[in-house]
A and B are shown apart, each in its own frame.
Chain A
Amino acid sequence: MPTRLPLLICLVSGVVMFLQYFSRHPVAKLIYQTVTNDWWQVIFAFTLIVGVASFIKITLRKISQKKDKTYSLIALGGLILMPVLALIGGTNIESPFQWAFENLLAPMQATVFSLLAFFVASASFRGFRARSIPAAILLGTALLVLIGRLPIAEHISESIPDLTFWIKNYPSMAARRAILIGIGLGSMTTALRVILGIERTYLSGK
């Protein structure tokens, strides 16, 4: 029974949501709106609670173990600071919350993201080598696309942007389409397996 009930809920929910897609009946529409506007939001709210609780638990453990204590304290402080600022001063344009977002969070995140350029530069020097013919083809293509994305490309040669366009629209897109078709088929198969109760990892594999 502890396993059958969730399996039954899963089967009924899956089949109902599948069938309602093809119907314009008011009941189907009501089910659809209730699920999308209410149920999913409620589930999300619970996942948020779980996420925040888990973050606090892990951070507190790190602080007690004196492992990255300073960083953990800053992270915990940030988690508390932003909602407090929003609750006290609101979220309108002149609020302290907006100031903190614009002047603390956004520059910090952009800084961390921009570090990627440094690692790419280092990796391109140390790792991007023409060790074999496929690697050489990949290298040549990468160089061409790198140049093709520059405004000076058309001034070097008019055929560079055309060639970049061709790479993007034929070999690259063919690979991308293959991946997308694979993902689509995989998603469908997994959905069917879950609905039919074959895939039970969400029940700890029981």
Chain B
Amino acid sequence: MSKDKIRWIIFAGLFLFVTLAYTIDIKMVSSPSYEVQKSFDYIESLPEGTILMVSFDHEASSLPEVQPISLVMIRHAFRNNLRIVGLSLFAEGTAIGYRTLNKIAAEYDKIYGVDYVFLGFKPQHIAAILGMGESIYDVFPHDYLGNLTDTIPIMIGIENYDNIEMVISITDGDRAVQWIEYAGPRYDQKVMTGLTAAMITSYDPYLSSGQLFSVVGGLKGAAEYENLYGVPGKGNRGMPAQTAAHLYLIVMIIIGNIIYFRNRKRQGRSS
């Protein structure tokens, strides 16, 4: 069989396997990891009116994996009457952040400017992170809709990180590292992150050192958070498909190795 044919069979197999798993409604419950439980408990413990800064630091490409995390975390915050200052340090995150906040705010009857605000995008992320430590009004003189930031009710008195309880960076890369490295040591800002599963190991040293408060990682992290929150969402919906894909990969690795060892044995015999 030609290499191309094998490749197409593998592709078709994965497509069928994942589609099938996605169409079957199976509930996969797993115990929450320590980090997810810590994130949930912390948000649950905050008093009403506390300000959280949610930074949408990701591209549209990773939306299927990171959006379930931002959805459930913002829902949790709004349910507990916490207030949210949204922003983006990634150009594409701007539209994503604005839409996500508005969508969830409508579910909880939250008012723009009072319960939440979206500041928009600022280029040069390190400069923006450092600048907000001194003055958020200087870095974002206007919000996403063009209103003067210091006149928006939620922003009155929110001058810098001293007035922000926690920064939650929803990311698919290393942008949260910049929050940790620049907002953390210089301004003593607490940072939490929701990120793609592939990036979790990059953040482990920061978690271990205590520079990063906690992590909600990948679709599994979102599913665990949703279970704690009590309302299954996109995270739980995607778990069977992710499980199917992982199992498929495992099977492929095993089959590939069986073929490899069989061929090696044959070659050994013939030589």
Q: Does A88 contact B (CB under 8 A)?
A: no
| B250–A173 CB distance below 8 A | no
Q: CB distance A109 to B220 under 8 Å? A: no
Given A169-B208, A176-B201, answer yes or no on A114-B64 (Cβ-Cβ < 8 Å).
yes
Chain B: how many interface residues by the 8 Å CB criterion?
65
Within 8 A of A (CB), among B219-245: 220, 223, 239, 242-243, 245
> Given the complex, which residues of A lie within 8 Å of B92, measured CB to CB?
105, 109
Report yes or no: B28 in contact with A152, Cβ–Cβ below 8 A: yes
Q: Are A110 and B256 closer than 8 Å at their CB atoms?
A: no
Please classify the interface of chain B as helix (H, G, I), strand (E, B), loop, or mixed, using the class held by over half of its residues.
helix
- Give the contact stretch, choosing among A33-41, A56-64, A188-196: A33-41
Interface size class on chain A is 35 or more
Q: Are B250 and A36 in contact (CB under 8 A)?
A: no
Query: Contacts A152-B243, A154-B30, A168-B201; is A121 near B252 (CB within 8 Å)?
Result: yes
| B62 CB within 8 Å of chain A | yes
- By DSSP majority rule, is chain A's interface helix, strand, loop, or mixed? helix
Contacts of A112 in B (CB 8 A): 61
Contact in complex: B59, A40 (CB < 8 Å): no
* Cβ distance A178 to chain B, nearest Cβ, rounded Å: 10
Question: In angstroms, how far is the closest chain B Cβ from the Cβ of A172?
Answer: 5
In this assembly, does A129 line the interface, its C-beta being within 8 Å of a C-beta of chain B? yes
A-facing residues in B34-67 (Cβ within 8 Å)? 59-64
Q: Chain A 128-142, CB within 8 Å of chain B: the 1/0 string?
A: 111100000001001
Given contacts A91-B144, A129-B260, contact A118 B249 (CB under 8 A): no
Inside 8 A of B10's CB, which chain A residues have their CB? 118, 121-122, 125
Interface string of B142-177 (1 = CB under 8 A from A): 001100000000000000000000000000000000
Beyond the given pairs A29-B134, A125-B256, 15 more chain A to chain B contacts, judged by CB atoms under 8 angstroms and listed by A's residue number, are: A32-B134, A36-B134, A37-B138, A40-B124, A41-B124, A43-B124, A44-B124, A92-B145, A109-B92, A113-B61, A146-B250, A149-B220, A152-B28, A169-B204, A180-B205
Query: Please, could you name 10 A-B residue pairs with CB atoms under 8 Å apart, sorted by A?
Result: A110-B61, A110-B64, A117-B14, A122-B11, A125-B252, A126-B6, A143-B253, A152-B28, A168-B200, A173-B205
Chain B residues packing against A (C-beta within 8 Å): 3, 6-7, 10-11, 13-15, 18, 28-31, 59-64, 92, 95-96, 98-99, 102, 122-124, 126-128, 130-131, 134-135, 138-139, 144-145, 197, 200-202, 204-205, 208, 218, 220, 223, 239, 242-243, 245-250, 252-253, 255-257, 260-261
